[in-house]
Chain A
Amino acid sequence: MRRLIILLLALSMPFQARAFQLDIGKIKSLVTNASQLREVDEKQEVEIGSGVASNLLGAAPLMPDAHVQKYVNQVGRWVAQQSERPNLDWHFGVLESNDVNAFATPGGYVFITKGLLLNMKSEAELAGVLAHEIGHVLKKHHLKAIQKNAQVGLLADALSIATQSSKNTEALNKIAGVGTELYARGLDKEDEFEADRIGVVLAARAGYDPYGLPLVLQTLANINPQDSALALMFKTHPAPTARLEALDKTMPVNLDKYATQPQLATRFVKTLELNQEKLK
């Protein structure tokens, strides 16, 4: 009898162990689902993005020039209309900062600094940079990184729009904080290369010379990398030369036939010249 019991026990052990492992696996996947794979709908995406945008504007306000802001919105919106998300409410803003940088937040907010704008020579270059940022929004690069970095409960609280409680607002603010910090650390380098590939195509679809973005990268490669105005951009992005090298692998074959499309240097320079005093 005792023998039989031992035998039965021995037989059941592997099953128990397996059952235990299964449970661990199940728990793990539940946690992963909650923290990373939780579906964020478009409304929630826009809400998170506007929170982050508000924070960015807290770091640097809009350049006080309605004419230039309108121009950048016209270029940006036209480029965004060529994307697979033309119905998002796209917002474009020039930040009053001599830093050389550009940002996108989830849901269609795109920013470029005055410092970067002043380093450009044509509308095609502006379109290329805005298109790169639009690419981040399309691929939800920041949203995915926020989902990865936010605590499990925090994201759930922030997104439980059914309860418009103060707890909800507080959580949303915290998520925006997590999101804003992300801009100090930067995205995965592959995300940047992907946004470059999207950027040149969107610019070409909008009828611009697709080499605008590479020409801006050329300009950036020529600014002394020790310059503090570029510190954050260089910390959070692959080196301009590496980005040019990556574009060189796919651009010539696919986009060279669009390289004679307009650069619109005159319209760009004219718009900025009219406002030269305010810009300097």
Chain B
Amino acid sequence: MRIMAIIFLFLQVGAAYAVEYGYTVRSTELKDAPFSDAKTLATLPEKTKVEIISRQGAWLQVKEQQQGWVRLLSLRTGEGRATGGDSGLKSLLNLGRSGNTGVTVATGVRGLSEADLKNARPNPQELEKLRQLTIHPAEAQKFAANAKLRAQQINYLPEPSQTEKTGSSNPASFGGER
């Protein structure tokens, strides 16, 4: 029975990865190339479900009635429900938790729940282990060079103006969107 459940889970995950869907979070221009000044093919209304084909930089190639490009951040992956679809990750994570409901204090299992953090006691041995892992900056530089990562000079982003922010900082919207 358990094996069947596991097989079923893997099928689910497989299906989730085979075709990826997304939906527009606002009215979005479908472009014929991954550039802002490319020709606009159509305007997709908010909550249009599209199939995601590929990514290039900040753009995703998508297919709805026709194929084109939309900005990565104007889409959310998943099925279009604000609560989020089940990607199978949840089940996989729960499988690893072997029936643990998250109320970890009662069972004596250590973890990172709210109560666990409030009752946490120092662990100097682990802290020492952590310190031993520390990397020298020169080693980090070598690690970056191995993958041809090139450091760039970029300014920090400005804080969005107050009027722009209201939509995302309204506490009421957090509960609603989860």
Q: Which residues of A contact B (CB under 8 A)?
A: 50-51, 53-62, 66, 69-70, 73-78, 81-82, 86, 89-93, 95, 97-101, 109, 113, 115, 119, 123, 173, 176, 180-181, 183-184, 189-190, 193-194, 197-198, 200-201, 204-208, 211, 214, 218-219, 221-225, 227-229, 231-232, 234-235, 238-239, 241-252, 254-256, 258-262, 264, 267, 280
Contact = CB atoms under 8 A, between A and B. Distances in A.
A108 to B, nearest CB: 9
Interface in B124-178: 124, 126-127, 129-131, 133-137, 139-141, 143-144, 147-160, 164-165, 167-169, 171, 173-174, 177-178
A260 B56 contact: yes
B84 A223 contact: yes
A49 to B, nearest CB: 11
Given A77-B134, A204-B154, A239-B174, 13 more contacts: A66-B133, A74-B140, A77-B137, A97-B112, A206-B144, A206-B149, A211-B72, A223-B87, A224-B86, A225-B178, A228-B101, A254-B154, A262-B148
A131 B124 CA distance: 26
B102 interface: yes
A82 B76 contact: no
B111 A99 contact: yes
A243 B135 CA distance: 31
B148 A91 contact: no
Contact of B71 (A62, A218, A252): A252
Interface SS of chain A: helix, strand, loop or mixed?
A: helix
A252 B154 CA distance: 14
Interface of B: 25, 56-58, 71-74, 76-78, 82-87, 89-90, 93-94, 96-97, 100-102, 110-118, 120-124, 126-127, 129-131, 133-137, 139-141, 143-144, 147-160, 164-165, 167-169, 171, 173-174, 177-178
